[in-house]
Amino acid sequence: MGQGQAHSEEDADSEVALQHIQELYRKFASECPSGNLHLHEFKKIFGFSKNSTEEENSYIENVFRSFDTNGDGHIDFLEYVAAVHLILRGKLKDKLVWSFKVFDRDGNGSLDRTEVRLIIKIIGRIKQPHEPNATGNVEEIVERIFALVDKNNDCRISLEEFIEGAEKDPWVLNQLKLDIGPCEWFMEQQEKKT
């Protein structure tokens, strides 16, 4: 492949990503004329209904909190821009830091087995929503993740262990990703609402 061809493919990718970002900004403006996105609006945009399970609600609330960087209870336009950029164009390490923040329900800087178990259940439902047995071997997956990632055997996974484990082991990365592909999932959720 020639250098010119490589550049043109990169430019095309950039144009596609930019187009997606522009569409998402328009979506924000139409959904949030006040300029602030509140939790109930966030749930609506992402297709969560009153019938969502407690676990699913807890998950989306943590996603919301991870984007609400100043903790004021709503996502303003700048926070939305940062979230869109992270999901569509962020580096793997940045996405892993974000994933960890979402999964750390109590905000104590580490993941225990309960938090990891919940992650695996929810990710299983996102990846295979129509297969009720998709999360049947959750305990085995949790134990294997801890065996591979919890280097100091303290029954907690720190951010450093989380990132190192996910970057080094493709199986761990696949288990700990929020979804099959953050960009594709994000766009799919948005397209459902247009």
| pLDDT confidence band for 138 (50 / 70 / 90) | confident
pLDDT in tens, 33-88: 788 888 888 877 666 666 777 777 777 888 888 889 898 999 988 888 888 778 77
Q: What percentage of the chain reaches a pLDDT higher than 70?
A: 72
- For the chain, the distance separating the N- and C-terminal CA atoms, rounded to the nearest angstrom, is 38
Q: Are 145 and 174 in contact (CB under 8 A)?
A: no
Q: What is the mean pLDDT of residues 136-156?
A: 91
Lowest mean pLDDT among 17-31, 78-92, 100-114, 143-157: 17-31
Spatial contact of 33 and 73, defined as CB atoms under 8 Å apart: no
Tell me the pLDDT tens digit for each residue of 88-114.
777 888 888 888 988 888 889 999 999
- Write down all domains in the chain, each with its CATH number in brackets: 3-192 (1.10.238.10)
Output the six-digit token pair for 33: 């004329």
> What pLDDT does residue 46 have?
66
Contact 100, 162 (CB under 8 A): yes
d(CA 194, CA 179): 21
User: CA-CA distance, 165 to 168, in Å (whole number)?
Assistant: 5
DSSP state of 36: E
